[in-house]
Each structure stands twice: as structure tokens, then as C-alpha cells.
Amino acid sequence: MLNRRQFLQSAAATALTLPGARAAQGPRKVGLIGAGWYGKADLLRLVQVEPIEVVGVCDVDRNMAAEAVKLIATRQKSGKTPPVFHDYRDFLNRQELDIVLIGTPDHWHALTMIEAAKKGVDIYVQKPISVDIREGQAMLAAARKYNRVVQVGTQRRSTPHLIEARDRIIGEGLLGKVSHVEICCYYHMRATQNPPDQAPPEYLDYEMWTGPAPMRPYNPLVHPRRWRAFMEYGNGIVGDMCIHMLDMVRWMLDLGWPKRVSSVGGIYVQKDSKANISDTQTATFEFPELPVVWTHRTWGVPPDPDYPWAAFLYGEKGVLKASVNGYDFIPVDKKAPKIHKDVTFELEQYPEDKTEKDLEKHVAPAIRGHMKDFLAAIDSRGKPVADIEQGYISTATCILANLAMKLGRTLEWDPAKGEIVNDKQANELLARPYRNPWKHPQASKV
């Protein structure tokens, strides 16, 4: 027997064959879990590309949720202020939703995404999809079992100038055969302070915020936004920044899984900080077609100041430099023209981008493109450009780099079995322990 949501989705699928069917159904009902920096950025770009109705916001920080719903009311067509929820389970049980956006810290992605899939909701989840590899496998299994469209926030795949670079420089053969790629981040983005621990603020439910992660004493470095400084909640700069460039290269060159992953690094310079993520790290991803080498440093200066967070694709006919701010193609033949393209901001088409707090203006067009692709996939019930499987591959590959650094050895990956070859100790690290009462998801049980 069909439940109400399944009946409505079946009816919607039938109605989509009719001209103008989307408008006839009324606006899609959208919810946001995690109302911080990128949760709001994603949601407000979705509002820009379709007149959705935001029907709820869920966050364990009362102040953050209040700020978000106030802003949403000024931006959505209805002008309504959506209700606030504290617990994502209550939110998903009580609200009728078509789409949910997940903008929580990384350690909350898996449980919220899997629960949303079980409720029959299509999902946009931020990268990296998970903190450990078994979480990612469970998320992919849930998306497929419940037939959900899941778009991952690796929006380089929807960045207009990078699409052009892929199609024009690589697709038309200007680069020739690519046999080496370097990706990097030299931003000074690692927390360098060491403030004392203290009681959490009264507006934050720190117990729920911590959730399945190990419990640390509350520290003002943790919330908001700077939780990325701690491995308890994410995978450091490799999980935060490498995944974007690695996923971009995989998409541009149509790469699947690497055969082997190795990595070295640690905290070499910023030893006085409370942060426990590496300040220096190099990883080599050995794909069957070519090696992709990652480097990050949170100190010093970048070797190419125009490309501090970027990919360098080395082909037999030239090099392609690609970043969020533009691209450059430099041919080997000195008589051939160089090609340069800057990011397009779209500020005149979307003037609210000019004043939106904390918005990365150069990234906004990519998020809009990503949302359009997501909506099209929902309507067709197809796979979006950053489908959950692609997000799983890129996320797991980055996690393997951190595991390789931790263990001090190269790891060989078996994608069919979803495990590391002949390495019992490494495979035991594919799932990290969850804090009670939270239960770690397994692909066989979703």
C-alpha cells in the first residue's frame, strides 16, 4: 500500500509529462538541516533558481536558526518565516518535505542523510559526504535502496568557467594526453589560536551538536565554522579542500577509483594551536591512468600566487591551471595562443549576492548551476552531476590519504569489496566508533 508521500511522488512523476506541470503542483517543499554558513548559502541559491517554499529549519544553535529563518522570510516568494526544529528526527517526521539540504558539520552528514532517504526525501548534502568510509558506503546504499536523488556539494562540476575548461581545453584536445596532475591548497585556514576550554553558550545544545563524535570539552574554536580544525568532526584540510580539487580532476578526466593511496605529513609548524589537523601534508593518488598529487601547507607562500587553491593538469601539449577564480591554458608551442578565463560573478542578475553576509560571491554561480542540475535530476529521476556515488568515491579517496598518513604506509583499495587489500589493521579504521547512544550505520542495515 502506498503511503501519502509515495502517492504524491507517483502522481508528481505522472504530472511531469504535462506542459507546465511543475507550476501546477505548487512549489517544492524544502527543509534545511544545519543553518550555518554553507547551509544558508546553498539554500538561498536554491531560492534564486526556483520559487520553492522553505517549510522548516533545523539547528541545535537557537541563535543560528533564528538568524536563518529571518533571512529566509525576506528572500522566499511567500514571505513566510519557516518554523524552527531542534532535532532532525522530529523535523523529518513532522514536516512534509520534497527536498532537504544538509549543511551540518561533517560528522552529522551520514545519520541525517540516511534518515531523510528513509523518509522519501531527495537530498543535497555538503561535502565530504562522511567522516569515515563505512558511513559513505551506508549513505550510497540508502540512496539506492530508497530511490533518492542525492546531489553532493562538490560544485566544481557546475562551475561555468571550469565546464568551459573541461570542454574546450581537454575535450577539444588542446591539452593532449594528460599524464600528471598536481592539486594543492596553500590557504592559511588552520586555526592558530589556543583559547581555554569553557562552558558552552546557553543557546547551543553542545551534547546534540557533538552527537556521534567523540566528546571534547567545549572550546570557542569549535563553533561556529571552525570545527574543521579538529579531526573529531571531519578530515582536516584533505577532507575539506582536497576533495574539491580531486573531485574536479576526476570529473574533468573521467577518473574512477585510485589503485593506491599514500600520504605523509603532520603538524610541523603551527604546534602551539589547539587544532589537531595537519598543517602540512602531501598525498599521492595512483589512478590507473596517471598520478594525482595533493599538497597543502597552512603556512608560508604558494608557489603560484595566482593559484593558491588549484589543479595543474600537465598534458603533452601544455598545462591547464584551474581554480575557483578562473583558468589558464599555457601551450607548449610558444606560437600558439594562451587562453585565460576569469570567473563570472553574475552580480547584476542576482543583486542580493552583493550584500549577503559571508557569501563567497565567486562560488555563487556554481551553486546555482548545481541546484539547477539537482532539480532537473529530481524531475527526471536520473543522477545529478555530483551523484552520491561520485561523492562517495572522492570522499573515501581523501579519507584513505589520512589513513595512509596515520599508518605510515601505502594503501591499496579494492572498490568491488569496498575495503583495503590485505591490511586488517587499516580495514578496522574504515569505521570509527560512535559515541552512545548513536549507532554507526552499516550499508547492510540501512
Listed in sequence order, the residues at least 6 apart from 55 whose beta carbon sits closer than 8 Å to its beta carbon are 29, 30, 31, 82, 83, 95, 96, 97
Residue 31, burial from CB neighbour count under 10 angstroms (0-12, 13-18, 19+): buried
Is the backbone of residue 177 left (phi > 0), alpha (psi -120 to 50) or beta? beta
The percentage of the chain sitting over the pLDDT mark of 70, rounded to a whole number, equals 95
For residue 133, the SS3 value is helix
State the average pLDDT for the chain.
Answer: 94
C-alpha cell at 389: 556515488
Q: What is the 3-state secondary structure (H, E, C) of 169-210?
A: HHCCCCCCCEEEEEEEECCCCCCCCCCCCCCCCCCECHHHHH
- pLDDT for the residue 8: 47
> CA angle, corner 396, sides to 424 and 45, nearest 5?
160
**Looking at this protein, which amino acid is placed at residue 317?**
K
Q: Give dist(CA 256, CA 259) in Å, integer.
A: 9
**Sequence spans of domains, the chain:** 4-10+22-156, 159-344+389-445
- pLDDT for the residue 25: 78
| Continuous segment of H or E residues that includes residue 414 | strand 411-414
| DSSP, res 84 | E
Q: Give dist(CA 177, CA 143) in Å, integer.
A: 35
**Looking at this protein, which amino acid is placed at residue 222?**
V
- pLDDT for the residue 106: 98
Look up the CATH number of domain 4-10+22-156.
Answer: 3.40.50.720
Residue 261, burial from CB neighbour count under 10 angstroms (0-12, 13-18, 19+): buried
Q: Give dist(CA 7, CA 12) in Å, integer.
A: 8
Q: Give dist(CA 200, CA 166) in Å, integer.
A: 46
Class (C level, CATH) for 159-344+389-445: alpha beta
Regions in the chain scoring below 70 on pLDDT: 1-24
- pLDDT for the residue 22: 55
